A and B are shown apart, each in its own frame.
Chain A
Amino acid sequence: MADERPVAGPRARHRHEEDFPIEWERDHYVTRREFAKFLTLGSGLLAAANVLMAIVGRLWRPAAPVAARIGRSADVPPGGSMLFRYPTPEDPCIVLREGTGELRAYSQICTHLSCAVVHRPDRDELFCPCHRGSFSTTEGRPTAGPPTRRLPRIRLEERGGEIFAVGVEA
């Protein structure tokens, strides 16, 4: 059985603390060199993350979306809009017809925090009710509120009274 009696002296300690000294204060002390090394290691990791994203951006090419029928031209009158999903069922979109008769379609996902935008024909804008952001109907660019990126545009074709979505512009 180990001798656990306190050791006499200026700092009464048990014998096992004499045999296995651990200086907790010194152990937790971080020198400036160690702090600088830690920061430089973090800097290295961040640089590696940036390089990785550059490589992914160069190599990653999303598959070309297939053309899909989304509705009849008559379903979208001037000043009106219609919802559809393209290129996948998880991608909500909105098509609207301008007063000039031109069709425009955008992703319905707000570029701020992914709420669904709605068409406001009275103000001729796409409006996000979550944080009161708005986008222009002509280019999808943000005109007010917190969004900073424009809505992805859906390329359309009208063939024989039918509307087809044929691609997505980033």
Chain B
Amino acid sequence: METHRQGTTLFTGICVLIGLLVVIQLWLVAACLDALRAGETGVLAAAAAASLVILAVNAGLLLYIVAFDARLRHTQRPPRE
């Protein structure tokens, strides 16, 4: 049960982290829209690169959650007789 509780805390923390990164991406999109409207195209490539990096981090965290959850379920499954 201790491992299950630790897993719950870890999952919650990772979900919060992913949520924060998505909020940062939202800000990037809004800033890029403003820059595009003003005709300032110099920052668009850098913002796109930063957004892709955040996506890679989010995807990595999601894969970690899935793998951890699978491992947790496997260790908690009752042994076959």
Contact residues of A with B, CB < 8 Å?
A: 32-33, 35-37, 39-40, 42-44, 46-47, 49-51, 53-54, 56-58, 111, 149, 152, 170
- Cα-based distance from A49 to B48 in the complex (angstroms): 8
- Cα-based distance from A50 to B32 in the complex (angstroms): 7
Contact status of A47 and B12, CB under 8 A, knowing A39-B19, A39-B22: no
Q: How many A-B residue pairs have CB under 8 A?
A: 91
Return chain B residues, CB-CB under 8 Å to A39: 15, 18-19, 22, 58
* Interface bin, chain B: 35 or more
Is there contact, CB below 8 Å, between B40 and A50?
no
Interface readout for B34-63 with A: 1 if CB under 8 Å, 0 if not? 101011110011011001101100110110
Contact status of A43 and B21, CB under 8 A, knowing A35-B15, A53-B44, A54-B45: yes
Is there contact, CB below 8 Å, between B55 and A47?
yes
Contact status of A53 and B33, CB under 8 A, knowing A40-B58, A149-B38: yes
- Cα-based distance from A4 to B33 in the complex (angstroms): 58
